[in-house]
Amino acid sequence: MKLLGKIDFQHHIDELINMFAKYPGLLNLMPVNKDSHDFSKAETWRQFQQASGLQWNMPDENTLNEFATFRSFVQSNAHKIDFSNVVYLAGKDENTPNGFHITHKGELQFTGTAEGDQSVTWATGIPENINRDTALYFTAVTHGGLANDNSLFKGIRDLLTTGTTNQFVRKPDLIPAKKRQFVLNDTRVFESDEENGILGILGLPTEAKKEEAMLTPLKVSVTRGDLKYSRYPIILGHFNRDGILNAEYAADIYLKRAMSDKHRLGVYPGPVGTYDFFITQNAHEASFKGAIIIGLGDIERFSQQHLSISVEKACISYLLNRQEADHQKKKVKGISVLIIGAEYGKLTIESSCMGILQGIANANAKTLQLQGHNIRHIEHVEFVELYDDKAIQCFRTLDRISKQNFEGLAVEWMERKLRKSYGNRNRLTSESSTEWWQRLTVLNQQKEGDNNYRYLSFYSSTASAREERQDLRSNIRLLEEIIDKISTQEKWTPEESKVIFEMLIPNDFKENISSRNSILWVLDEYTAAYPWELLQASLDKNKPLCVSSKMIRQLATMDYRNVVYSSKGNQVLIIGDPDLEGFSAAQQLSGAAREAESVYLKLKKEMPNIPKPIIFGKSSDIIKALHVSDYKVVHISAHGIFDAENNQESGILIGKYMDSKKEKPLLLTTNEFNQMQVTPEMVFIYCCFSGTMNQQSEAFSRHRTRLAANIGTQLIKMGVKAVVVTGWAIDDQAALEFANVFYASMLDGDDFGTSVRNARKETFNKFKYTNTWGAYQCYGDPFYRLVQDKKPSANIVMEYDFPQEAKNDIINLLSKADIDFYNTDSLYKELELISKRIEKSDIDDADILEEEAYAYSEFNRFDIAIRKYEKLFTLEKATFNVKSIEKYCNISCKHILSNFLDNSIAPGSDEAKKMGQQIKAIIHKINLMQQLNITSERYALLVSAYKKWAIIEPHQFNHYLKISAGYYQMAYTTKNSEMDMYSFCNWITLEQFILDRAWGEKVIFNVDDESFKYTLPEQQQILDKLQNHIGTIDDKISSGDQNYWDMVSKANAYLCLYLISEETHRKKILKMVKDEYRAIWVHAGDTNKKKTESEFFETLAAFALILNQEEIATEILSINEDLKSLLLAGA
């Protein structure tokens, strides 16, 4: 009514109410459920009118009677409706009215809830008899948009055609208690035109200018390569409570761990709609532009719509807050994205692309509505994908989308080609390389009206479906008796574990759980007490699930500490076997003391400054140590006691006290941990009870799993990232083995999930007779790392199943060498391992040998590469590329010169003459290839050979220099490309060192008995060409395939400009040369290419010295030394 009042200038709100009240059936829209106010009674309306302060006419008696009849009919017959063919699609809004009351002051006060769609609450709108497991879906769209928001259309179409869909979620996001019931504030409409008023009345977003923005097509492109070379800041997704993995991990390295710092501090995106920016300011064209991290929510609830919402919110903020450079640059404003959620999130590539594009389109529309054309919107969306097969799928998907007509979303190609960048990979299959953790949520439920009847609800997030649910209504009491028996003994039998599996897991879930995927148990505080680690699916395999698979626990709760302060240092607190002061119900634990000492010695090797462990310490010393410093790790080995009647009397035994002459246990409880202002990252508690079995100690030893669950869940709520706590009495030697393997794995850089699995596996293999391997309840982030950098592991030589695997490994290795993410020495060791695997697999394949030879040449192992090429050329019926012959010629010349210099062979000696003849033979081979077809690449090979020959035979120096310059000129004119500045710059550079030539003159050079002629350009022509290239190359590289020689051509142009410029300008240009080379070398190019350039600098310096140009030689060598320091730093 208020909105109508804004666009109706003739009638007051009272008059509008009277007018609409006469419409037949309008009253029938009022709530009709039994628990709501009865609007068929005049008294209800009288009170309502009086409290509202408005003077409208009350509904007449006939209207109220009609509504009473209607209300009664609905209440009496609603249960008869057949919902078997009905699917309910629920909307979502933060403010849905759910009632009203009249305050003691007589004022009308409305209440609201976030559990509704703006028009109707879920409680009253969702039919009571509908099947909530199969026929109920939730969206994030308000009531008025359910049939109007085009992002829902695909899912609605699925429901109409198949009755099911994976576009929506079956469970809504958890709503905090404060949002489930609250007082609705009076909403005043300050501004509204007619169009926005109507949209508001219909419950639609008031976006009058939305269509205008949507009509501007988003331009799309696909790049295959590493995300470092994306054109714009790149959007990456992060699931709630996940670690920083895969693409995120690579981005984190490029950003110098800025992302992981925020992740460890607990201020990292996770829930849907959260985001953060890690933008590189003033980024060079070759450098990483930065990352935009968006929260994707919980994996089990993830959908296309959640992806769209997060992308939209992040892009709105990006557009509003980062526009200062847009007014100064004429470049297209764009954003880069990964194909988010298409593997680990289980979206199709089409769903991922549509969710991303819709989110960006919505962001454009809303910013246009807010600021009009004062802000530039996102014009270009670059999809970046590492693997070629997935990039091709993305390209085809976008091509289909661009040809279809989606209301509110227009897409067209920026460039209809698959752009190649650095670091792209091949693979045999399109299977996900991401480890899939199957999330299994188990919640304690009570039957309504019967608090004594308890059952368990299981929710499974699998690779084939969004979510499955099944309730387990077995005899829970009987199961708990078995569990309590296990918690008081150390022995284990496969039969007991099989019984637990059969009784505890619903039948429909058993197959998935038995599949050996990594399992993440999401538990509440009740179900955390169950020994999930003991599950064994089959007696034949004779191995429990937690031994053969990774298994970690998490909490299904929102009750976490609001602010978590983590330790900035590496301090560790180790407590072992506290002094119990003769407590009669427990004895000292020598095994706990040994474990504490062992853990201390292991941690001290990596963290040398940690304090000594507190062994046999007094309770006062333990409490003091707990609060006197901030700790990254806390390890406690001691007795544990659980009081089933009072959780506050459960904890770690650190002494005793007297109460009325009766000794009582003095406990370190979770309350003491909670008082720590700085939360440890990891807590390990070896907490058992092995006292003498008198009546008191027997009571203390019961319900062991509940003690572990109580401690573990409380520590996770505090914000501890990883918790290990024992659930029952354990064997001392087995416990020591578990701790040693666990800490060794964590210190090697393995993640929490891997370290736990390694410890369980080794403990099981060595101590099968005990159940110690299953006693450890491990809570937290499976991807948490104590040490960020993983130590290299011993290489195991495994055979290849298919030759193509070996070929892909070599190609991918070379692709990795193009980017600075990987260490060159480590990559070379990886190449050696690949060669060993090829040899062990007895692969005799010319294609593989050719790739091997090329790979060794790229790592400058010319001796090995030449041997492999020569073997390739002698194979019968071998097929290989002419490129391999070219490569062989090039590296053979390099190898000859390297031997000449390394062995200090005297010019003119017999050995030098022999080497000169070897180069001459190689030149002959290159000329034979030129007879097949003349190419600029072969001219460049001839130049390289003659330059090396000139060093070996210096008496022919000037002659060979002229030949080299002439061949560079031919290479440039043969290629006839504006992008080929490599040949042009090298040609002009060499001409600069030939003294008997001048710019603009005609020159002749002779090779053997043949003469060649060409005309040198004028100096101003050269300067203009170089300046034009410097000013335009960045845009050309951005729009085309990325190639190192094209990227470095700007630096080459500066170098050439430096050499031909007047002496007064050289100093200024020299700085530009250094800055540009450094910018490229920091971000692109493999070691071989950089060493080639370094050799070129040394050659130019030698030329300058021969011509007595000492200053130029010194300055060129300073460039080289500066760049070689980068090469050494990256090795």
Q: Which two tokens stand for residue 216?
A: 């501007």
pLDDT tens profile 47-60: 877 777 666 777 88
Residue the block writes with tokens 């794995």:
745
SS3 64: helix
Q: Helix axis angle, 846-858 relative to 862-874, nearest 10°?
A: 160
pLDDT of residue 790: 64
Sorting pLDDT into bands at 50, 70 and 90, what band is 191? very low
Residue 188 pLDDT: 39
Instruction: Give residue 351's pLDDT.
Output: 87
Predicted confidence (pLDDT) at residue 175 exceeds the cutoff of 90: no
The more confident residue out of 500 and 407 is: 500
Q: How far is CA 985 from CA 4, 944, 1026, 1101, in A?
A: 72, 15, 9, 16
Average the pLDDT over 294-319 and give the result: 88
Lowest mean pLDDT among 661-665, 740-744, 975-979: 975-979
615's tokens:
């062994």
Q: How far apart are CA 226 and CA 232, in angstroms?
A: 13
Query: Domain limits of the chain?
Result: 2-201, 211-420, 464-551, 565-780, 793-873, 1018-1131
Q: How many helices (H) and strands (E) does the chain have?
A: 40, 29
- Sign of the Cα pseudo-torsion (223, 394, 367, 267, in order): negative
Task: Compute how many other C-beta atoms are within 10 angstroms of the C-beta atom of residue 445.
Answer: 15
pLDDT at 721: 86
pLDDT in tens, 597-643: 999 999 998 888 899 999 999 999 999 999 888 899 999 999 887 66
Task: Specify the higher pLDDT residue, 992 or 562.
Answer: 992
Q: What values do phi and psi take at 39, rounded to 5?
A: -85, 10
Q: Range with the lowest mean pLDDT among 543-552, 818-827, 909-918?
A: 818-827
pLDDT given for residue 456 in this prediction? 85
Residue type, 662: K
724 DSSP β-pair partners: 684, 778
Q: Which helix (H) or strand (E) holds 814?
A: helix 803-817
- pLDDT score at 660: 82
211-420 and 565-780 in the same fold:
no
Can you read off the two tokens belonging to residue 908? 């003119």
Q: List CB contacts of 567: < 8 A, sequence separation 6 or more.
A: 630, 631, 632, 678, 679, 680, 681
CA dist., res. 496 & res. 696, Å (int): 28
HEC states along 405-417? Answer: CECCECEEEEEEE
Q: Which CATH superfamily is domain 211-420 in?
A: Leucine Aminopeptidase, subunit E, domain 1 (3.40.220.10)
Contact 42, 58 (CB under 8 A): yes
Cα(348)–Cα(654) distance, integer angstroms: 55
User: Quick one: DSSP state of residue 585?
Assistant: T
Question: What's the pLDDT tens digit per position in 437-488?
Answer: 778 888 888 766 666 677 888 877 644 333 466 777 766 677 777 666 665 5
pTM here? 0.63
> What is the phi/psi pair of residue 1031, to 5°?
-80, -20
pLDDT band at 196 (very low <50, low <70, confident <90, very high): low
Count of residues making up the chain: 1131
Contact residues for 819 (Cβ-Cβ < 8 A; gap 6+): 226, 228, 229, 422, 423, 1084
The pLDDT tens digits of the residues spanning 710-735 come to: 777 778 777 888 999 887 777 889 99
Q: Is the separation of the CB atoms in 279 and 290 below 8 Å?
A: yes
Cβ-based neighbour number of residue 920 at 10 Å: 11
Secondary structure E strands in 577-616: 614-615
Confidence band of 113 (pLDDT split at 50, 70, 90)? very high
Tell me yes or no: is domain 565-780 CATH 3.40.640.10: no
Between CA 893 and CA 896 the distance in angstroms is: 5
pLDDT over 80 (residue 140): yes
**For residue range 885-938, what is the model confidence (pLDDT) as tens digits?**
999 999 999 999 989 988 999 988 999 999 999 999 999 999 999 998 899 889
Rounding to the nearest 10 degrees, give the CA dihedral for residues 948, 952, 956, 960.
0
**Higher confidence at residue 819 or residue 152?**
152
How confident is the model over 1082-1095, as a mean pLDDT? 78
Higher per-residue pLDDT: 567 or 949: 949
Out of 151-155, 515-519, 760-764, 949-953, which region has the weakest mean confidence (pLDDT)?
515-519
Q: What is the pLDDT of residues 665-710, one digit of tens each?
A: 898 887 888 888 888 889 998 876 433 333 343 344 444 556 666 7
What angle, rounded to 10 degrees, do the helices at 882-902 and 846-858 form?
40
- % residues pLDDT > 90 (the chain): 27
Q: What is the model's pLDDT at position 210? A: 47
Average pLDDT of the chain is 82
Phi/psi of residue 64, nearest 5 degrees: -65, -40
Query: Pick the residue with more confidence: 1065 or 797?
Result: 1065
Report yes or no: 112 and 97 within 8 Å, Cβ to Cβ: yes
Question: What does the radius of gyration of the chain's CA atoms come to, in whole angstroms?
Answer: 37
- Is residue 868 pLDDT above 90, yes or no? yes
Distant-in-sequence, close-in-space partners of 1032: CB < 8 Å, separation ≥ 6: none
**Own/partner pairs for 388-394, CB < 8 Å, 24+ apart?**
388/224, 388/424, 388/425, 388/426, 388/427, 389/426, 389/427, 389/430, 390/339, 390/342, 390/349, 390/430, 391/222, 391/223, 391/224, 391/418, 391/424, 392/418, 393/349, 393/430, 394/222, 394/339, 394/349, 394/353
**CA 881 to each of CA 119, 388, 772, 878: distance values in angstroms, whole numbers, following the listed order:** 69, 22, 60, 10
Q: How far apart are CA 522 and CA 528, in angstroms?
A: 9
Sign of the four-CA dihedral 889, 895, 899, 900: positive
pLDDT of residue 107: 80
Which tokens sit at 897? 């010169």
As a whole-number percent, the residues of the chain with pLDDT over 70 amount to 83
Which segment, 273-282, 462-471, 762-771, 919-928, is predicted with the most confidence on average? 919-928
Q: Is 405 exposed, middle or buried (0-12, 13-18, 19+ CB in 10 A)?
A: exposed
Residues 688 and 739: beta-carbon distance below 8 Å = no
When pLDDT is cut at 50, 70 and 90, the band that residue 424 belongs to is confident
State the chain's maximal CA–CA distance in angstroms. Answer: 124
pLDDT of residue 406: 65
What integer pLDDT is reported at residue 77 of this predicted model?
Answer: 85
* pLDDT(27) > 70: yes
Nearest to 828 by CA among 800, 785, 857: 857
Give CA–CA dist 589/732, Å, rounded.
9
Q: What pLDDT, on a 0 to 100 scale, did the predictor assign at position 464? A: 37
Question: Residue 890 carries which side chain, given as an amino acid letter?
Answer: N
* C-alpha distances out from residue 375 to 213, 216, 278, 311, 411, Å: 12, 14, 21, 18, 21
- pLDDT band (50, 70, 90) for residue 208: very low
Which of 221-235, 381-395, 658-672, 858-872 shows the lowest per-residue confidence on average (mean pLDDT)? 658-672
Tokens read off for 731 = 């064997």
Cβ neighbours, 10 Å, residue 889:
24
Of 855 and 977, more confident: 855
Report the candidate in 467, 399, 463, 477 with the shortest Cα–Cα distance to residue 431. Answer: 463
CA–CA separation, 982 and 925 (whole Å): 24
CB 572 within 8 Å of CB 553: no
Bridge partners (DSSP) listed for residue 458: 442, 470
